[in-house]
Amino acid sequence: MASVLFGLAERARLPRLMERHSSVSVLGLFAFLNGLISIAILATTALVTGAPTIFPSLGPTAFLLFYTPTTPAASPRNTVLGHLVGVGAGYGSLLLFGLTGAEAAMTAGVTTARVGAAALSLALTSGVMVWLKVPHPPAGATTLIVSLGILSEPWQLVVLMVAVVLLVCQGWMINRLAGIDYPLWRTPPSG
């Protein structure tokens, strides 16, 4: 994240800010502002449209995109595909356990079927992300959001993925503006 902030400060000609304040203070302020802006945009979109463009796993996704933008887990490829795997595994688990029309576990309580759906969805998400080489830890939360029935309607899952893509686009713009070699799709292999 320091390289993002230093790149933005340099482009905005704010070297004095970086010279006068400790990097921890400035980096913390940058993380605060970026988190505020990114989630506020998605939450405002939810408010205006009534669509679920804000959900818990976006928080850790935003953190990865803006704090460790050059790691593979933060790449657009891993972010989008990881959440897509999570959505697919969560919805597939709902189908398998006959829970597509059921109330969310937070409302109706946890049942044996819900335990099975949650366990299977997380297992599938973890395994498939490893097999496809697209690790993105926040996708583990996404799959539980779906398999626990918090967001379970197909249209909600499409909106969820649109929100992920919007966050990735914002991450790409901010990181590129800062001069970070944030990938268009995939982080180049190291070595």
Q: Residue 164: which pLDDT band, with cuts at 50, 70 and 90?
A: very high
End-to-end CA distance of the chain: 22
Lowest mean pLDDT among 11-20, 71-80, 166-175: 11-20
Q: What is the pLDDT of residue 182?
A: 87
In sequence order, the 6+-apart residues with CB closer than 8 A to the CB of 86 are 57, 121, 125, 139, 140, 141, 142, 143, 146
> Mean pLDDT in the chain?
89
**pTM, rounded to two decimals:** 0.87
Q: Cα–Cα distance between 182 and 4 in angstroms, integer?
A: 10
pLDDT tens digit sequence for 85-142:
999 999 999 999 999 999 999 999 999 999 999 999 999 999 999 999 999 999 999 9
Backbone angles phi, psi at 176, to 5 degrees: -65, -40
pLDDT tens digit sequence for 63-83:
999 888 889 999 999 999 999
Q: What is the pLDDT of residue 142?
A: 98
Q: Cα–Cα distance between 158 and 42 in angstroms, integer?
A: 15
